Amino acid sequence: MTLSKAKLKDLRSLTHKKIRDQQKKFLIEGLRLVGDSIDSGFKLLEVFYTNELKESTAGKDLLVRLGNKTSNLHEISDREMDLISETVTFQGIVAVVKQQEFSLDSMLENPERKSHLVALDAVSDPGNAGTMVRSCDWFGMDGVLFGTNSVDLYNPKVLRATMGGIFHMPIVEGVDLLSTLSRAKELGYTVIVTDQSGETHCDRMNYPTRSLIVFGNEAWGVSDQVKELADFRVSIRRYGLGDSLNVSVACGIILSSVHRLYE
């Protein structure tokens, strides 16, 4: 299949947030992400791959699995792939995926007794945000909220850093955190804000069965207005000279302490 100039331009335009938002689509690249999308509830609209991918064992396997999910599967040239693809390393496969809109209400009203949610308050670095989703996936969080000022979930660098996490749990973006935290508290959630000067050490924190944990911006942390809604402010004890931890590292440490009491 040869892609028309207009089609290439369309695909390429999905690297812009504005177009992604309008069309409710996003692009994913590489064996890993495309593979993870297959077993998810996300709809694969179109898939493009190169001859090189088709020739590899892993690529062949993936194409068979994809064949069961979509008929919109097209071989394109390396040059065309280069024009669509964002990454420097050659991935050989891209897919156009329909954005899935999860309901914030159902996420909060989670009928399970246990519900652990994570919110990102203006986390701005794509690598950090994606890595945090990856950790939420590892630690079995029930959902992630991207606050209005956080980096775009469908940014290719965020998606890559999630390592498939985007396909494993509901994530809602563009969330107004102030109203959402108030609503969560009405629904029985304990709001836990991470804060370097928080009075509760995370190892001493007894995470309630319904907890919503908020992580803040790389430079200034969680915003003051959000902090005011906190039931607990947790911190990570320092033993050395460093004056801060990376936010995705802090997130991993806090999440690793959530389950400790249930063991």
Residues that bind a second copy (CB under 8 A): 127, 131, 134-141, 161, 163-165, 168-169, 203, 236-246, 248-253, 256, 259-260, 263
Question: Which amino acid, 98?
Answer: K
In the complex, least distance from residue 240 CB atom to a second copy, rounded to whole angstroms = 3
Q: What is the three-class DSSP state of 175?
A: strand
d(CA 238, CA 140): 26
d(CA 120, CA 129): 8
CB of 126 to a second copy, least distance (A): 11
Nearer to a second copy, 35 or 229 (CB): 35
Specify the residue, 161 or 214, whose C-beta has the smaller distance to a second copy. 161
For residue 143, the minimal CB distance to a second copy (Å) is 11
**Residue 140 CB, nearest distance to a second copy (Å)?**
3
52, 43 Cβ separation under 8 angstroms = no
Contact 258, 139 (CB under 8 A): yes
Going from the C-alpha of 90 to that of each of 15, 52, 85, 112, 155, the distances in angstroms are: 17, 10, 8, 42, 18
Choose between 23 and 90: whose C-beta lies nearer to a second copy.
90
Strands (DSSP E) along the chain, which ranges? 25-29, 44-49, 73-75, 93-98, 115-120, 143-147, 171-175, 190-194, 200-201, 210-215, 232-235
Q: Which is nearer to a second copy, 41 or 71 (CB)?
A: 41
Query: Cβ of residue 231: shortest distance to a second copy, in angstroms?
Result: 22
Residue 74 or 259: the one with the smaller Cβ distance to a second copy is: 259
Query: How far is 110 from 171, CA to CA, in rounded Å?
Result: 14
- Shortest Cβ distance from residue 253 to a second copy (Å)? 5
With left for phi above 0 and alpha for psi between -120 and 50, is residue 242 left, alpha or beta? beta
Q: Which is nearer to a second copy, 223 or 248 (CB)?
A: 248
State the CB neighbour count (10 A cutoff) for residue 79: 9
Q: Minimum distance between the CB of residue 234 and a second copy, rounded to whole angstroms?
A: 12
Nearer to a second copy, 48 or 115 (CB): 115
